[in-house]
Amino acid sequence: MPTVHAPTREAGADHRPATPPVIRAGGRRISRAWPYLLIAPAVAGGVFLLLYPLLRAALISFQHFRMGELIRGGAAFIGLDNYRELLAAGEFWAVVLRTFVWTAINVVLIVGISTGIALMLVRLGRRMRTALMSVLALVWATPIIAATTVFQWLFQSRLGIVNWLLVRVGFDSFEGYSWFANGTAMFGVLVVLVVWQSVPFAALTLYAGLTTIPVELYESARLDGAGGWQVFRQITFPILRPMFALITSLEVIWVFKCFPQIWVLGQGGPDGATTTLPVYAFKIARALHRYDLGSAVAILTVVILTVALVGNLRRMLKQEGADT
């Protein structure tokens, strides 16, 4: 019987298994869209929670919407009547001016103090820097209402620590002084509170930016005889200009729409001395049940903020283009 030989394999032949089938174009499209599908529910929820209240407030601002319409419905459209009523009222413009003053004072103090703290953090030793950053983080993490309540206790007329300390150092006129009965004093207390709450975020953000600046730039500037202010003006600020612009914009938003602190401490008083646009809108809707007028104030607040921030963004982009 003849012997059957198995077929021999040629030297150098490729014995790898067959390649898998090529993924179809439809599968590639699904794989590329998968990350967007995963975040779609969160994006949709965020858009709904942010956009729906704004659109609803805009709709109410064009309607006759008061307590009766809130209960039975059927609000009638009245066009721009609510806006005409607001713009013709002297009280509205007084509140707008007060809001701009409030925002300017707070933002200037926040950015200035935060810059100083950030520069100090760079120069501190490791332990002191860690301790200070921990304190800043704790201040930042403190709930707004809790911090506002603490400030109420600190500035109480009879049992407050602030009056006690001022009297101990020789200011006897602060014995039993009522901070919350005087408009200017109340305004000052609120400024201290908001600045205290806002500085940690800005300071830590600026410190993170300062750590990215090469040390060689500072060494070269000092060898050329530049002082501290010259180093900041010619090196630090130009490099961190976008970050300063971003922080300023965020703080403008934060301060301009500030509501809980003002409402908890004095509900915009005394005599409206601390009433800003958000507080004014709430007071109109709550006390007068003018939900249409309150919504108009809220929409105008959004418009004012948008115009201010768009102008700041355009100026920042123009400056960046000039630098490049």
Each residue's pLDDT tens digit, 266-315:
888 888 899 999 999 999 988 888 899 999 999 999 998 888 888 777 77
Each residue's pLDDT tens digit, 74-96:
888 998 999 999 999 889 999 99
Query: Which region holds residue 272: left if phi is over 0, alpha if psi is between -120 and 50, else beta?
Result: left
Helices (H), the chain: 25-61, 67-72, 81-87, 90-123, 126-141, 144-154, 161-168, 183-210, 215-223, 228-231, 237-239, 241-256, 260-266, 277-287, 291-323
CATH number among 1.20.120.1200, 1.20.1740.10, 2.60.40.1730, 1.10.3720.10, domain 78-323: 1.10.3720.10
CA 276 to chain centroid: 17
Q: Which of 132, 269, 139, 244 is nearest to 193 (CA)?
A: 139
Q: What pLDDT shows up at residue 22? A: 47
Distance CA 140, CA 258 (A): 16
Strand, coil or helix: 44 = helix
Work out the mean pLDDT of the chain and round it to a whole number. 85
Which structure tokens are listed for 89? 């009222």
Q: What pLDDT shows up at residue 309? A: 82
Q: Which of 168, 29, 191 is nearest to 106 (CA)?
A: 191
The domain segmentation of the chain, as residue ranges, is 78-323
Confidence of residue 324 (pLDDT cuts 50, 70, 90): low
Taking CA atoms, 142 is separated from 95, 148, 163, 168, 187, in Å, by 29, 10, 24, 29, 21
Confidence of residue 3 (pLDDT cuts 50, 70, 90): low
